[in-house]
Amino acid sequence: MSKLPLIARIILGLIFTVFSINFFVPFLPMPEPTPEAGAFLGALMASGYMFYFIKIVELVGGIMLLIGICIPFALLLLAPVVVNIFLFHIFLDPGGFLMGLFIFLLELYLLYHYRSVFSKICSDTRV
């Protein structure tokens, strides 16, 4: 059996866990965002709840991936965050594009790996 899904899951889980913890307890320096990215991040912070909500979702999803519980659910939970990270780096902060692409590709690979679980979600359940 290939160890690639396990490695991908651990890496993605570590990325989300470490960077969400870093939001609550800063221990890694964050690069200076572009003006557009700064405005976007400032708006999320100004909402009073949205950035905290996103980081809690990242933390829960990351921990779920790390310990291996409900992996398909964790992937679904993180999917909107991953898409937004990818698009954020395409449109607002191109300097982080490679990291955004890496996270996006890890998510896609894991979604593909667990495709049999997701096929059941989309099956026709009419009686």
Instruction: Grade residue 126 by pLDDT with cuts at 50, 70 and 90.
Output: low
Per-residue confidence (pLDDT) for residue 80, from 0 to 100: 97
- Angle (nearest 5°) at CA 107 between 2 and 33: 135
Q: What is the rounded CA–CA span in Å between residue 104 and residue 124? A: 29
Instruction: Grade residue 6 by pLDDT with cuts at 50, 70 and 90.
Output: very high
The answer to whether the pTM exceeds 0.85 is: yes
| pLDDT digit string, tens, across residues 21-40 | 999 999 999 889 999 999 99
| pLDDT digit string, tens, across residues 67-111 | 999 999 999 999 999 999 999 999 999 999 999 999 999 999 999
What residue spans define the domains of the chain? Answer: 4-25+34-118
